[in-house]
Amino acid sequence: DQQVKQNSPSLSVQEGRISILNCDYTNSMFDYFLWYKKYPAEGPTFLISISSIKDKNEDGRFTVFLNKSAKHLSLHIVPSQPGDSAVYFCAASSGGSNYKLTFGKGTLLTVNP
Amino acid sequence: GAGVSQTPSNKVTEKGKYVELRCDPISGHTALYWYRQSLGQGPEFLIYFQGTGAADDSGLPNDRFFAVRPEGSVSTLKIQRTERGDSAVYLCASSLTGSGGDTQYFGPGTRLTVL
């Protein structure tokens, strides 16, 4: 049973445009959400996070939006750059087990020059 | 500074053999995690260490899997009687304290192939 779902296996965008990666979750106990980026042959790298008490968090070109009622979050990258091409994982954790991250399957983002 | 390192980067073994995978966390990080990433999936939690003790081993799939961290730094994941289904990338991560909001830093992983 996938508690964190990334329904788009891949996404392709033009350089300079916006990339929007989506993530849905089913576990109501999740209260902390993260995005990780992964290049081939490397481990996942932390990108940005958001607590359930917020609905938006911004860091440079990256913004994460959280819609708790819909159990949905999204990552916006503006403007997209070719170096952003990677697999993006959505992850979540909850309360007392906040060290235990539950990951989605990932979305491969390709940014074309 | 140095990140999380894992050795070996690749391990090929035969069904039924025993393997050990090593993780060197970032210096000073008290929390250490093991995850397993199967093909086409996201990483799945296996075990969490706080210092020398396994605080949560609920993700270990069965008793063939065991992990230790005897001095609170380096950790070894041990798999007995390997099966083809154990083939995956095994990721190690560490964080400063293990508390909420603590960023987990991942190593490059060990790709295990069981023939």
Give the pLDDT confidence of B4-14 residue by residue, as tens digits.
999 999 999 99
**Cβ distance of A98 and B99 shorter than 8 Å:** yes
When pLDDT is cut at 50, 70 and 90, the band that residue B1 belongs to is low
Smallest CA–CA distance, residue A77 to chain B, in Å, is 21
With tokens 């210096």, the residue in question is B27
A14 forms beta bridges with A112
A41 shares contact with chain B (CB less than 8 Å): yes
Of the residues B10, B23, B104, the best mutation for testing chain A's interface (the one with the most A CB atoms within 10 Å of its CB) is B104
Q: Is the pLDDT of residue B43 over 60?
A: yes
In this prediction, residue A6 carries a pLDDT of: 97
Residues of B in contact with A51 (CB under 8 A): 101
B91 shares contact with chain A (CB less than 8 Å): yes
Of A43, A51, A105, the CB nearest to B91: A43
Of A41, A98, A103, the CB nearest to B108: A41
How far is B93 from B31, CA to CA, in rounded Å? 8
B46 shares contact with chain A (CB less than 8 Å): no
Count Cα atoms within 13 angstroms, Cβ side, for B53.
2
For residue A17, which amino acid is it? Answer: R
B5 shares contact with chain A (CB less than 8 Å): no
Percent of chain B with pLDDT over 70: 99
B109 shares contact with chain A (CB less than 8 Å): yes
For B43, the closest chain A residue by CA position comes to: A103
CA distances from B37 to B34, B91, B102, B108 (A): 10, 7, 21, 12
B47 shares contact with chain A (CB less than 8 Å): no
Specify whether the CB–CB gap between A52 and A31 falls below 8 A.
yes
Find the largest Cα–Cα distance for chain B: 40
For residue A21, which amino acid is it? Answer: L
For B95, the closest chain A residue by CA position comes to: A99
pLDDT tens, residue by residue, A63-109: 999 999 999 999 999 999 999 999 999 999 987 677 899 999 999 99
Average pLDDT, chain B: 95
